[in-house]
Structure 1
């Protein structure tokens, strides 16, 4: 299925990387569900930038199964066809602040649990809600957003990095099971992105160090990652599933 024929759900897409991904799909002519929890005004701005005829903002906490089910039903009613493509991007209560991050001494299990719910639990809900319609269409694309930090934790964001490592396990297991129904499940892992709300607390000197140590001599942007997400939704990736594509200018080579 061509990108412009798809209905795409991007979770957490009112700002940052999610907004860039939603807009990238919009530019390619897809129908886009702009999911948000609190930022209704920003979600509306994303919809307007895509076009009110091709984008639809829906409030839902992706950690809540009922809200996710309701969101996909609303999307199907709005566009007249089901969601074909899910991008699990939502970030729950986390800021990339290397100075004030939790340490081995201050971490609690609840910190881990919060990030596991934002990553794995949320992805489970969206996959389960979308799976039957994807199977009926014999087409589905799931793209999970990861991080290069779980492969090279240059900053030990313990709870966040560990949750994304678990999300890769989720990605590969779902890819194995859903492949028979032509549903691919992949991951795109960016580095520290310049600059989003989540990375706003990161000092400029950190971005400079990344730039100097990256083969492409640049810091990855949300738009760079969005392009890779488009690839995994496109016909060109039809034989690719269960993979993790690191998009960070070559900083981490897997």
Structure 2
């Protein structure tokens, strides 16, 4: 046992002894879970019987409509995940409603970004403020969500943390400099947190898609761009939000109990490795 008062582990856990909770026994938080990819992730977990906390910031109607369709399984909760106090309140509201802690977190929320390549700032124009905006949404927010959920995961003795990344790390074909830099930092945090939290039975992984067909964020993308991407993939089609959502379910499932610190690319084979 560590004598360091800052060290939260009481003992390293034998990974083979850590229970892999069935999806139907999990309480899942999906940030930005009411629209686009987030809604697809929410529906995928609901389909598998999990209880889901649908976090939203501005999409109240969509969140409440989705929750109302699954009254015993889903709860819509407003919170700006960039605000630590709102995140803490979100986690406490979920516990009070379901009577148990959140054990799976999906960091999906995308803050103030649209996939409009021609409209994005180029290398000679991008500002520190643009980078800061994306870092607050893609690094600071997931950090706060993870930290708020950790006590409940420790109480349960198991946890699943899944963050949404991008294949632009490997295939930077469009000038999404701020978005890609922030997601790269989140990938680094994914891997270092996996090392830190693994002995407690908590896995930390990332799922990375390319341009999805279609979400609110990709709605302004010309059809020719989608067609060009499809022609470049072995599957000859553009990945859907539902396909990426299934990968999130995999990482939360018992079948992924031995997988952590990974970045799974789900883009029809466009990017290899």
What TM-score comes out, normalization by structure 2 length?
A: 0.92
Name the CA distance, whole Å, in 2 between partners of 1:219 and 1:48.
31
Q: Secondary structure at the match of 2:34?
A: coil
Shift of 1:48: 2.7
Match 2:104 to one of 85, 91, 99: 85
Distance 2:120 2:175 in 1: 8
Query: Which of 1, 16, 24 is matched with 2:44 structurally?
Result: 24
Post-superposition CA distance 1:104-161 (Å, at most 9, x none): 1221101001101101101110111011111121110000000001221111200001
> SS of the residue aligned with 2:243?
helix
Q: Which residue of 1 aligns with 2:35?
A: 15
99-108 vs 153-162, which moves further: 99-108
Rounded to whole Å, the distance in 2 between the matches of 1:189 and 1:46 is: 24
1:176 is matched with 195
Q: CA deviation at 1:13?
A: 0.9
SS at match of 2:58: coil
SS for the counterpart of 2:49 is coil
Counterpart for residue 237 of structure 1: 256
Deviation per CA, 1:12-42: give whole Å up to 9, x if none: 0110000000010001110000000011001
Aligned 1:187-206 pairs, distance under 5 A: 187-206=206-225
Question: Which residue pairs with 2:6 in the alignment?
Answer: none
Runs of 4+ in 1 over 3 A off after TM superposition: none
Where 2:116 maps in the other structure, the secondary structure is coil
Q: 2:62 aligns with which of 22, 38, 42?
A: 42
The two structures have a TM-score, normalised by structure 1, of 0.98
Q: Aligned partners of 1:171 and 1:45: how far apart in 2?
A: 32
Equivalent residues, number: 253
> 1:148 and 2:167 equivalent?
yes
Q: Which runs of 5+ in 2 are unaligned?
A: 1-20
* SS across alignment from 1:106: coil
Larger Rg over CA atoms: 2
Contact 2:101 / 2:156 at 8 angstroms: preserved in 1? no
CA RMSD of superposed structures (Å): 0.7
